[in-house]
Amino acid sequence: MTFGTRYVAALAERGRLCVGIDPHASLLLDWGLDDTVAGLERFALSVVEAVAPYCSLVKPQSAFYERFGSAGVAVLERVIAESRDAGALVLLDVKRGDIGSTSQAYADAYLDPRSPLAADAVTVSPFLGFGSLTPFVDTARAHDAGLFVLAATSNKEGPEIQQAVTTDEFGRRTVSNTVLDHLRVLNDGADPLGSFGAVVGATIGGDRGLELAFNGPILAPGYGEQGGTAADIVRIFGAAAPHVAASSSRGVLRAGPDAERMRDAVRRANDELAGLTA
């Protein structure tokens, strides 16, 4: 099945929460663990065991594993494999963006099933021009994987680029809407949903004029502890709200190391997010 098909099925079966498995040094210490590879491994795999059988997606942030070098990446490989074995879709948060053969190498690393880092989908950056993502798009199609492309992020620096106005094949548009236009083309005709998604923050302020009817998945980071609510998702996404997976990391991870408390946090969030409509 395509990633879009698996995504729709996962949200229907397991709810709309995406759990970020982000081993911040401060969280390791909160759990009583050392900021070492051993602490990383115990933390990350404990989270996988607690939540991966119960949520639709998990989203490990690669940087928190890479900071430990090859041993940390080996832990990330286990997080990906064990999460998928537990039935969760794995969205690997890498935000890669490059050109040509380098972009293809990244795509092979994260989307080709022959790689030990292969995930169901990855986050990518379009800000070298959307066409620079072509190797990711082609590789995702070849392996029924997905992409989540940065479009409108919540960080205060984001609008400097994302709200800039450009004139291109789609007309005079903000950069964010140009990204969404490209996704609309990629997802045209897909049923029940395309495999090429967008990252749009759950805490973005103001009216950015986003045209979110692009027939693809949406990742909304910032839900929960960072301030985003179910009401914000309805406000921001409107008719596209049913396609949103709301992402929370600390809101679940701070409930650890108690596995049942983490599962309860997942259940509460899924209950709050259930039935999102415009």
Active site residues: 95
Six-digit token pair at 117? 């880092």
| Whole-number Å distance between alpha carbons of 87 and 9 | 12
3-class DSSP state of 56: coil
- Using CA atoms, how far apart are residues 47 and 196, in angstroms rounded to an integer? 27
Question: What's the Cα-to-Cα distance from 176 to each of 85, 133, 182, rounded to whole Å?
Answer: 35, 15, 10
Which of helix, strand or coil describes residue 16?
coil
Helix (H, G, I), strand (E, B) or coil at 11: helix
- The answer for residues whose C-beta is within 8 angstroms of residue 108's C-beta and 6 or more apart is 115, 139
Q: Please, are residues 234 and 255 in contact by the beta-carbon 8 Å criterion?
A: no
CA angle 46, 56, 64 (to 5 degrees): 45
Alpha-carbon distance 160 to 166, whole Å?
13
Q: Residue 211 and residue 194: Cα distance in Å, rounded?
A: 16
Number of residues that this document lists for the chain: 278
Distance separating alpha carbons of residues 197 and 241, to the nearest angstrom: 13
- β-strand 17-21 against 244-248: which pairing, if any? parallel
Helix (H) or strand (E) holding 134: helix 134-142
Question: Measured over all CA atoms, what is the biggest interatomic distance in the chain, rounded to whole angstroms?
Answer: 54
